[in-house]
Chains A and B, each alone.
Chain A
Amino acid sequence: MSETSSSLTLPDPTPRKTTFSGTLYRGNEGMWSWVLHRITGVAIYFFLLVHVLDTALIRVSPEAYNAVMATYKNPVMGLGEVVLVGAVVLHAMNGLRIILVDAWPWATKHQRLLFWIVMGLVAALMLYFTPTHLINVFSPIEGGH
């Protein structure tokens, strides 16, 4: 290109098109704790909804209630219970963290540390709960609920 070219006839850029809609926002601990809080919150809400319905079934027909309860007594449900307890523990602990972050200046400043403390506590509680619970679930003895 030795000739002078007008700025109006700039060479066409060669756009390579990339197809995806947007990048994920790269938040830190605070954002992820909020995401986890939302997910566990919604999950617990749906559990409670189902739980209220199946318990209400006993007023409709005790037989149907017993049938439903029988289907719950299998290992898959046992694993589900671990997930449920995990969600409840996480939601509870993180809820306490959020209250502190809102109300106590020290906690606002150290929210990251608090997030990891919450995760540590949840992990510790689940490490304690899961084995005992799974032994119950998988032992052949009929346990009353």
Chain B
Amino acid sequence: MAATQVTGTPGEETAAQAAQTEGGTAPAEVDSAQEGHDRPLEAGEAVEEPQSFPVTVIVRRYDPEVDDEPRWVDYDVQMFATERILDALHRIKWEQDPSLAFRRSCAHGVCGSDAMRINGKNRLACKALVKDFDTSKPIYVEAIKGLPLEKDLIVNMEPFFDSFREIQPFLQASSKPEKERHQTIAQRERFDDTTKCILCAACTTSCPVFWTDGQYFGPAAIVNAHRFIFDSRDEASQVRLDILNDREGVWRCRTTFNCTDACPRGIQVTKAIAEVKQAMMTGVKL
């Protein structure tokens, strides 16, 4: 039926056709993206494809059933610059040596399970990028120091969590609010920094005082005490200050700032500890 119809239905002429037939008021042809589409394409600048390169990772292994002492074992892995040390550990575990033991869960810096000492500094393996290391040299990975070593990169975190529990990390208030407990922006801001802690233990196990004195509460416990001590809604600040005024409390801190450097959340740990010290001397200033 419509197979032979070549022209459009009347009244559907294009603007150009109309211009031709009526004597030329059609818009000048514009340079469009399509223009010259039939010309040969020029090759764009070559985009370099990311290349993987070999990286030597030396892991401090320890199997309590076999080894008396931890031992360093070398692995060669192919890595891309944008990958993380955690990917290197995965590659080792999945492709080379399934017996390698380490903790990780979220792989995105949220859960705090993969703190380890990478080239002599405590870092989250899932946040340590290969490109930030000098890959012409081996990368050393070992368990965090000061907590009992269980296997390879896994330590017993219980002593760490015990200290955390001891400072009563929960809101304590006697009254019951009608709806909610109000707080001004400034009051919330006061302890904002210390709410970011993910309990990874990178700070506590970077502290030279903690290495030699496992009884020391450690930066992480003090950070989490700080979070409630300076919370205007909380009523047990004094209780926590008394706990931390102990021999093994905040006064053990010698301000080495290793914890501030190690914290993957960028918490100003030593500053928080100093604020708790000051609160002990001059009272809590909210």
Which chain A residues have a beta carbon within 8 Å of chain B's beta carbons? 7, 10, 13, 15-31, 33-34, 37, 98, 101-103, 105, 108-109, 111
CA distance A16 to B72 in the complex (A): 8
A-B contact pairs, 14 of them (CB 8 A): A18-B72, A18-B74, A20-B72, A22-B145, A23-B119, A24-B120, A27-B208, A27-B257, A27-B261, A30-B257, A34-B254, A98-B255, A101-B274, A105-B271
**A17-B120 in contact (CB<8A):** no
CB proximity to A under 8 Å, residues B112-137: 117, 119-121
Q: Name the residue on B nearest A26 (C-beta).
A: B120
Contacts of A30 in B (CB 8 A): 255-258, 260, 270
- Quick one: given A13-B96, A102-B277, A111-B257, are A26 and B271 in contact (CB under 8 Å)? no
- Quick one: given A25-B208, A34-B208, A102-B277, are A108 and B120 in contact (CB under 8 Å)? no
**A108-B271 in contact (CB<8A):** yes
Which chain B residues have a beta carbon within 8 Å of chain A's beta carbons? 58, 60, 69-75, 96-98, 117, 119-121, 140, 142, 145, 206, 208, 254-258, 260-261, 270-271, 274-275, 277-278, 281
**B117-A31 in contact (CB<8A):** no
**A23-B117 in contact (CB<8A):** yes
A18-B73, A103-B274 known; 6 new pairs, CB 8 Å cut-off, are A7-B98, A13-B73, A15-B73, A17-B73, A19-B72, A20-B72
**B98-A10 in contact (CB<8A):** yes
**B96-A25 in contact (CB<8A):** no
**B208-A18 in contact (CB<8A):** no
Contacts of A23 in B (CB 8 A): 117, 119-120, 140, 142
Q: Name the residue on A nearest B270 (C-beta).
A: A108
- Quick one: given A28-B257, A31-B257, A98-B255, are A13 and B97 in contact (CB under 8 Å)? yes
Contacts of B261 in A (CB 8 A): 27-28
CA distance A67 to B72 in the complex (A): 55
Contacts of A27 in B (CB 8 A): 206, 208, 256-258, 261
- Quick one: given A10-B96, A102-B255, A111-B255, are A26 and B74 in contact (CB under 8 Å)? no
**A31-B256 in contact (CB<8A):** yes
CA distance A111 to B261 in the complex (A): 13
Q: Name the residue on B nearest A112 (C-beta).
A: B257
CA distance A97 to B236 in the complex (A): 32
**A102-B98 in contact (CB<8A):** no
CA distance A37 to B2 in the complex (A): 97
Contacts of B60 in A (CB 8 A): 22
Contacts of A111 in B (CB 8 A): 255, 257, 270
Contacts of A19 in B (CB 8 A): 71-72
Q: Name the residue on B nearest A29 (C-beta).
A: B257
**A18-B58 in contact (CB<8A):** yes
- Quick one: given A15-B73, A23-B120, are A34 and B274 in contact (CB under 8 Å)? no
CA distance A35 to B261 in the complex (A): 17
Contacts of B96 in A (CB 8 A): 10, 13
CA distance A21 to B70 in the complex (A): 8
CA distance A41 to B36 in the complex (A): 81
Contacts of B58 in A (CB 8 A): 18
Contacts of B142 in A (CB 8 A): 22-23
Contacts of B278 in A (CB 8 A): 102-103
